[in-house]
Protein backbone atom coordinates (compact mmCIF):
# COMPACT_ATOMS: atom_id res chain seq x y z
CA UNK A 1 0.00 0.00 0.00
CA UNK A 2 2.67 2.49 0.99
CA UNK A 3 4.77 1.33 -1.96
CA UNK A 4 1.95 2.27 -4.31
CA UNK A 5 1.74 5.69 -2.70
CA UNK A 6 5.50 6.15 -3.02
CA UNK A 7 5.33 5.16 -6.69
CA UNK A 8 2.57 7.67 -7.30
CA UNK A 9 4.51 10.42 -5.55
CA UNK A 10 7.65 9.52 -7.47
CA UNK A 11 5.78 9.62 -10.76
CA UNK A 12 4.17 12.93 -9.85
CA UNK A 13 7.47 14.55 -8.92
CA UNK A 14 9.14 13.14 -12.05
CA UNK A 15 6.35 14.59 -14.17
CA UNK A 16 6.75 17.94 -12.43
CA UNK A 17 10.50 17.85 -12.94
CA UNK A 18 10.11 16.95 -16.61
CA UNK A 19 7.61 19.74 -17.15
CA UNK A 20 9.95 22.19 -15.42
CA UNK A 21 12.84 21.05 -17.65
CA UNK A 22 10.73 21.50 -20.75
CA UNK A 23 9.71 24.97 -19.57
CA UNK A 24 13.34 25.86 -18.91
CA UNK A 25 14.44 24.62 -22.33
CA UNK A 26 11.55 26.47 -23.98
CA UNK A 27 12.54 29.65 -22.16
CA UNK A 28 16.14 29.24 -23.31
CA UNK A 29 15.12 28.60 -26.92
CA UNK A 30 12.75 31.55 -26.80
CA UNK A 31 15.33 33.97 -25.42
CA UNK A 32 18.05 32.63 -27.72
CA UNK A 33 16.14 33.32 -30.93
CA UNK A 34 16.48 37.08 -31.41
CA UNK A 35 20.00 38.07 -32.38
CA UNK A 36 21.71 40.71 -30.31
CA UNK A 37 22.64 43.95 -32.02
CA UNK A 38 25.46 44.58 -29.57
CA UNK A 39 28.12 42.08 -28.50
CA UNK A 40 27.39 40.77 -25.02
CA UNK A 41 31.11 40.63 -24.30
CA UNK A 42 32.86 43.71 -25.68
CA UNK A 43 29.85 45.87 -26.61
CA UNK A 44 30.63 46.53 -30.28
CA UNK A 45 27.81 46.54 -32.82
CA UNK A 46 27.29 43.13 -34.38
CA UNK A 47 27.01 43.54 -38.18
CA UNK A 48 23.52 42.87 -39.54
CA UNK A 49 24.98 40.22 -41.85
CA UNK A 50 26.21 38.32 -38.81
CA UNK A 51 22.91 38.76 -36.95
CA UNK A 52 21.08 37.21 -39.89
CA UNK A 53 23.66 34.49 -40.52
CA UNK A 54 23.76 33.35 -36.87
CA UNK A 55 20.26 33.28 -35.34
CA UNK A 56 20.43 34.12 -31.65
CA UNK A 57 23.96 35.45 -31.96
CA UNK A 58 25.15 37.17 -28.78
CA UNK A 59 28.81 37.86 -29.51
CA UNK A 60 30.73 39.64 -32.25
CA UNK A 61 32.93 37.49 -34.49
CA UNK A 62 36.04 38.29 -32.45
CA UNK A 63 34.52 37.37 -29.09
CA UNK A 64 32.87 34.27 -30.55
CA UNK A 65 36.27 33.15 -31.82
CA UNK A 66 37.83 33.66 -28.39
CA UNK A 67 34.95 31.83 -26.71
CA UNK A 68 35.19 28.85 -29.07
CA UNK A 69 38.93 28.61 -28.53
CA UNK A 70 38.38 28.71 -24.76
CA UNK A 71 35.69 25.98 -25.03
CA UNK A 72 38.10 23.85 -27.03
CA UNK A 73 40.67 24.18 -24.27
CA UNK A 74 38.20 22.79 -21.73
CA UNK A 75 36.31 20.02 -23.55
CA UNK A 76 36.29 17.87 -20.42
CA UNK A 77 33.87 20.20 -18.64
CA UNK A 78 31.05 18.93 -20.87
CA UNK A 79 32.11 15.30 -20.72
CA UNK A 80 32.36 14.95 -16.96
CA UNK A 81 36.17 14.84 -16.93
CA UNK A 82 36.10 11.33 -18.37
CA UNK A 83 39.20 11.82 -20.50
CA UNK A 84 41.35 13.57 -17.92
| Residue numbers at the binding site for Zn ion (CB under 5 A) | 39, 41-42, 60, 63
Phi, psi of 38 (to 5 degrees): -125, 135
Q: Give the 3-state secondary structure of residue 51.
A: helix
CB of 77 to Zn ion, least distance (A): 22
**Comparison of 57 and 60: residue with beta carbon closer to Zn ion:** 60
**Comparison of 69 and 82: residue with beta carbon closer to Zn ion:** 69
**Comparison of 43 and 80: residue with beta carbon closer to Zn ion:** 43
Say if residues 51 and 29 touch (Cβ distance below 8 Å): no
Amino acid sequence: MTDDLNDEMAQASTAMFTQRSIDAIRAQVHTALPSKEICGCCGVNIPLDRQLAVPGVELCAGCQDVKERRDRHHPASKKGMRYV
